[in-house]
Amino acid sequence: MKRKQYIIPFATLIVALFIAASCSKNLDVLPENRTYTGGTDYTQTSDMINPVIGMYSKLSVVDNEWADYPIISVRGDDVNAGGLGDQPGIAATDMYNYSKIEWSYNALWQDYYQHLFDSQSALEQIELYKASASTNIDATANQYSAEVKVLEAWWLFQLSRVWGTVYIPTSSNPSTLFDTPLSNKDEVMQHISVLMDEAIPFLPALRPNERTDIPGGVTKYTALAMKALANLELKKYQEVATATGEIINSGKFVLESDYYNLFKIKGKLNNENLLEKQYSDLGQASGTNYYYLMAFFGPQGWTPKVAGSGDGWGFFEPSLKYIKFMLDRGEITRLQTSVLFTNRGIAEIKTDTKYATLPSWISNTTPSGDIINDFAREMFVSGKHYLPSNQLTIGRTAYGTNKNFTCIRYAEILLMYAEALTQGATGTAGTADAAVNLVRTRAGLASITGVDTDKVMAEKYAELAMEWGTRFYDMVRLGKSEELSYEGRTYTPDKQFLPYPQNQVDILPALGQ
C-alpha cells in the first residue's frame, strides 16, 4: 500500500527559482549580486510574490549547503562530529580547534551572505512593484517585505552567533560592504529585534501551516520568535518574556503529542513549528526532488527495514555525556527519539559501572524496525535527523529524503519563556513551572515545581539537543564553560567565535583588523 505523502505546498512556484551549486563553487569571491530584475515588468503586480518565493527557496535550498548546519551546530556537549571521516575541519571545530582556512567556514559565510544580499534585492524589487502599481498594493507589499525581513533575521542571527561581529547588509550590492562598518554581536541582535518590530504589524496572526497563500510561510509568530531569540542573546529577559508570552497566549501552537514522529513525516508543517525548511519529492518515485542532504547525519552500513534504502556518512553523533544525562533523568521518549544506538555504543555505555544494566528498550533496532549496525565513525546516530526507511516514498532510496528540517518550534518558545521568568522577567502566559511542565508531560516525565534557570537549562538540554547548536550557545551565554569541556575537549572563552575565513579577510581587510 502506498504510504501517505506530504508535498511542499509552494513547490510548483519555486521550481524555476531554485539555484543549486557546488559547495565549493565561488568560495573565493564576494557573492554575486543576483537579482530578479532582468526583463521585469513592475506594473505586473501579480508577479510581486516572485521575489518572496525566491527567498523561501533560499531558506530551503537543496543539498549544496549541507556543511552550513554542522558548523553552526557541532560545538557543545550534546553532539560530536563523526571521526575517521573526510571532513577533518568539522571534527576539529567540534574539538574547539579552529582554522581560518577551513573550507566549510568560508562556505557558511558565503552562503548566508548570498542570502542576505538576495533578501536586500527582494526588498528592492518589492518597492519597485509598489511604486509602479496602478492601484494601492501597500498592504500586500508590506507583508511581503515583512516576510523577507524575518528570513533575513534568521540568517543574520546565525552568522552573528558563529562569528560575533559581522556586517549588516543594507543593499543588494556586495561592494557596499567595503564601506559598511562591522557590527558587534549585541548590535546585530538589537538590529534583529528592531527589524522584527518593523515586520510584526504586517504579518498574519496565523500558524505557518494555516497560511493558504504560502503554506508554511512565516507569520507574526515567527517574527516574535526571532525577536525572542535575539533578545535572549542580549539577556533582555523582559523582551523575551513579552515576545514568547504573546506566542503562547495566541493559543495557536501546541506540542505535538507524538515526539518520535515530530521529527519525521508527521512533523511536516506541524502545529508545533514556527519555522521550517520545506522539502519534497512531490510524492513521486522518481523525477524532481527537493531535498536536504540528510546523508550527512545517517549511519553507514545500516540494515533498513525497507531493503535498498540508502545509508549515510556518519558525521553527527550524539555525545556519550548527553546519553548518560538522559539515562540519569529516566528519559525514554526523548532519548529513544534523539539517539540511534549501535551495539558498539551500547557496550561503551556499559563500561561505566553506573550504567552496566541498561533499560531493555535500548537496542540497535529503532522503533521503526531499522537496524543500526556498528560502523567506524560513530557509536551513536542522531535520531532527530533520521527518517525511517518505511516512511520513504516508494521508489526513493536516499537517506532522509522528503524530510523537512525544523528551525524553530513551540517547545523552544515555552522554554525561553520559562527561562526569562527565572531571570527576573514578568509574564502574562503562566508560570515558569507550567511552561516547563508542558514540555515534560509530552516527554512522559512527572511535573516539577520551583523551576529555576538551571532546571530550565536541563530541560532545554533534554529537549533541544542536536538542534541548531542551542546547547552550546546557551552555555556560552550563561558563562557555564565547564559544561563544554568534556570527553577530551577543553573550552575556553576565547573559543566562543570562529575565526573569519581567510578568503573573506583577503577581500574585506576590515575583518583582519
> Do 69 and 215 fall into the same domain?
yes
> Do 274 and 307 fall into the same domain?
no
* Number of CB atoms found within 10 A of residue 302's CB: 24
| Tens place of pLDDT per residue across the chain (513 aa) | 333 333 344 443 333 333 323 333 332 333 333 344 557 999 999 999 999 999 999 999 877 799 999 999 999 999 999 876 688 999 999 999 999 999 999 999 999 999 999 999 999 999 999 999 999 999 999 999 999 999 999 999 999 999 999 999 999 999 999 999 999 999 999 999 999 999 999 999 999 999 999 999 999 999 999 999 999 999 999 999 999 999 999 999 999 999 999 999 999 999 999 999 999 999 999 999 999 999 999 999 999 999 999 999 999 999 999 999 999 999 999 999 999 999 999 999 999 999 999 999 999 999 999 999 999 999 999 999 999 999 999 999 999 999 999 999 999 999 999 999 999 999 999 999 999 999 999 999 999 999 999 999 999 999 999 999 999 999 999 999 999 999 999 999 999 999 999 999 999 999 998
The answer to whether the predicted template modeling score (pTM) of the entire model surpasses 0.75 is yes
> Do 53 and 162 fall into the same domain?
yes
Cβ atoms 63, 20 nearer than 8 A: yes
User: Where is the domain boundary, 362, 382, 403?
Assistant: 403
> Do 189 and 331 fall into the same domain?
no
Residue 320 in any domain: the answer is: yes
Q: Work out how many domains the chain is built from and give that number.
A: 2
> Do 125 and 192 fall into the same domain?
yes
Give the domain CATH number at 90.
1.25.40.390
User: Where is the domain boundary, 354, 388, 403?
Assistant: 403
Kindly state the cell numbers that stand for 445: 516525565
The whole-angstrom distance between residue 234's C-alpha and the CA centroid of its chain comes to 20
How far is it, in rounded angstroms, from Cα 466 to Cα 78?
A: 6
How far is it, in rounded angstroms, from Cα 233 to Cα 222?
A: 17
Kindly state the cell numbers that stand for 33: 549580486
The one-letter code for the residue type at 371 is I
> Do 357 and 410 fall into the same domain?
no
> Do 132 and 244 fall into the same domain?
yes
> Do 207 and 92 fall into the same domain?
yes
> Do 87 and 116 fall into the same domain?
yes
* Domain boundaries, position 378: 294-403
User: Where is the domain boundary, 373, 403, 433?
Assistant: 403
> Do 235 and 368 fall into the same domain?
no
> Do 430 and 345 fall into the same domain?
no
Secondary structure of the chain: what % helix, strand, coil (to 5)?
Answer: 50, 5, 45
> Do 371 and 412 fall into the same domain?
no
How far is it, in rounded angstroms, from Cα 80 to Cα 318?
A: 6
Cβ atoms 227, 197 nearer than 8 A: yes
